[in-house]
């Protein structure tokens, strides 16, 4: 019998496959922003113009996630996942060959469309394939894969970009994605989803749309939106903000953000174990995030000039953010009715893309205006609004459960 601490081989295989794809999708989300410093030098585009490309990526992904959620529940997670994975990898690789801003805009659009499939398809597969007493751990490792992608991207893009060039770097990581997607395709029979493969009905499109406008769903969406405005804003433009605010070199600033994400890697694995053992995932999420925000706010408040202290602040903040993620996912799972996992996860996680698109624009504007201190302040403000949203999501779900 499967225990709460040991996953069977089938669980481990599915978790490994899905988490690897999730890792690459997160690398692709941050790859271009972390090459802006080279693109501006080589191509002459401003940071503001390049930030628009990232905003387009996330906005398209946000809208696409909602649509992808319906397709996942209607046609199954596998075809949707592989369509998006291949499209995203091809689009990223194609940046190596573009010679105009309009072409970069088109590729950003296509990459965002590809990125839109991962959350609804991944969570449908995890819910349909993983043993019930290992779901929290599966969510933890899935999030771990995403954070690995976030953690390695800032500094690896700096190293690869300066060594090979920004075009060559995009080509290399795009080809890696095509190889990984191909390997996952060979194992597709093991990836069972939570609707089609369980013989459940996805319901009508009209009923599905109605689910998205119920209070618990909307608050879950807002939670992801505001959390992303804080966390993704810091991950994409954090190196630039640290460089400007504390007068750090670019490589030191990039490595600091990477160390923050390394802290998140440790936190999310522990958070996965905790999530399988607690009932109030909403309270756990809110409490842990609040502690992380209070710590982060010491940076704009005291402007630490000690690198060991600064690194400690970012690592512990990252640990808290990572630890909250599995419980966060369990909150969404608890409000999603059977047959609607794709829609709920697709819609609520689209909030991450909406928040990311807004954050890149807002923080890009602040950095352009010399307001680097406000970046760190607003990161915390946005995340605290997210804390309120997750608590309201759970409260409203108890009062008015979502039903198809």
Q: Is residue 301 part of a domain?
A: yes
Q: Is residue 21 part of a domain?
A: yes
Average pLDDT of the segment spanning 185-191: 87
Q: Is residue 345 part of a domain?
A: yes
- Residue entry with tokens 């202290």: 309
Q: What is the pLDDT of residues 191-218, one digit of tens each?
A: 887 666 555 555 556 666 777 778 888 8
Q: Is residue 4 part of a domain?
A: no
Q: Does residue 249 or residue 332 have the better pLDDT? A: 249
Q: Write the CA distances from 397 to 45, 221, 336, 378, 393, integer angstroms.
A: 47, 13, 9, 29, 6
Q: Does residue 274 or residue 315 have the better pLDDT? A: 315
pLDDT band at 273 (very low <50, low <70, confident <90, very high): confident
Among 59-63, 115-119, 214-218, the range of highest mean pLDDT:
115-119
Q: What is the pLDDT of residues 318-333, one digit of tens each?
A: 999 889 888 877 877 7
Q: Write the CA distances from 255 to 34, 142, 305, integer angstroms.
A: 12, 23, 16
The radius of gyration of the chain from alpha carbons, rounded to an integer in Å, stands at 20
Do 38 and 165 form a contact (C-beta atoms < 8 A)?
yes
- Separation between Cα atoms, residue 180 and residue 271, nearest integer Å: 27
Q: Is residue 6 part of a domain?
A: no
- The CA-based dihedral angle spanning residues 199, 204, 207, 208, taken in that order and rounded to the nearest 10 degrees: 70
Q: Is residue 1 part of a domain?
A: no
Whole-number pLDDT of residue 264: 85
109 CB neighbour count, 10 Å cutoff: 18
Whole-number pLDDT of residue 250: 81
384 CB neighbour count, 10 Å cutoff: 19
Q: How many residues does the chain have?
A: 404
Q: Which domain holds residue 100?
A: 11-399
Longest dimension (CA), the chain: 61
Do 69 and 345 form a contact (C-beta atoms < 8 A)?
yes
Q: Is residue 404 part of a domain?
A: no
Among 53-57, 90-94, 202-206, 387-391, the range of highest mean pLDDT:
90-94
Q: Is residue 3 part of a domain?
A: no
Total structural domains within the chain: 1
**Which CATH number covers residue 394?**
1.20.1250.20
pLDDT band at 3 (very low <50, low <70, confident <90, very high): very low
Whole-number pLDDT of residue 1: 34
Average pLDDT of the segment spanning 23-39: 92
């Amino acid at each position: 019998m499967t225990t709460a601490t040991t996953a069977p081989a089938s669980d481990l295989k599915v978790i490994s496959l899905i988490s690897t794809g999730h890792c690459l999708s997160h690398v692709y989300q941050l790859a271009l922003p972390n090459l802006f410093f080279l693109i501006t030098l080589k191509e002459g585009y401003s940071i503001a113009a390049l930030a628009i490309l990232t905003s387009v990526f996330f906005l398209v992904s946000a809208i696409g996630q909602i649509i992808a959620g319906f397709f996942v529940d209607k046609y199954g997670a596998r075809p949707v996942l592989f369509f998006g994975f291949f499209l995203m990898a091809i689009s990223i690789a194609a940046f190596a060959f573009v010679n105009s801003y309009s072409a970069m805009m088109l590729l950003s659009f296509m990459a965002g469309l590809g990125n839109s499939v991962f959350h609804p398809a991944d969570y449908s597969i995890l819910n349909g394939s993983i043993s019930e007493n290992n779901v929290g751990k599966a969510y933890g490792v899935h999030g771990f894969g995403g954070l690995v992608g976030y953690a390695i991207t800032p500094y690896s893009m700096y190293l690869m970009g300066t060594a090979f060039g920004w075009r060559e770097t995009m080509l290399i990581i795009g080809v890696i994605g095509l190889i990984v997607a191909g390997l996952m395709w060979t194992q597709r029979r093991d990836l069972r989803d939570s609707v089609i493969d369980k013989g459940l009905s996805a319901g009508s499109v009209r009923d599905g749309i109605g689910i998205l406008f119920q209070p618990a769903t909307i608050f879950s969406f807002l939670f992801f939106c505001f959390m992303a405005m804080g966390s993704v804003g810091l991950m994409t433009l954090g190196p630039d903000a640290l460089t400007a605010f504390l007068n750090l070199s670019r490589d030191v600033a990039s490595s600091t953000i990477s160390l923050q994400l390394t802290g998140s890697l440790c936190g999310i694995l522990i958070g996965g174990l905790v999530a399988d053992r607690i009932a109030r995932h909403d309270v756990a999420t809110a409490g842990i995030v609040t502690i992380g925000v209070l710590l982060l706010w010491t940076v704009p408040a005291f402007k630490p000039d000690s690198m060991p202290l600064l690194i400690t602040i970012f690592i512990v903040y990252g640990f808290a953010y990572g630890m909250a993620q599995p419980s966060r996912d369990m909150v969404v799972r608890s409000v999603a009715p059977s047959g609607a996992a794709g829609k709920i996860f697709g819609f609520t996680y689209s909030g991450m893309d909406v928040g990311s698109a807004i954050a890149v624009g807002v923080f890009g504007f602040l950095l352009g205006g010399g307001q680097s201190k406000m970046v760190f302040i607003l990161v915390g403000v946005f995340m605290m609004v997210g804390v309120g949203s997750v608590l309201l999501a759970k409260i409203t779900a108890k009062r008015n459960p979502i039903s198809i």
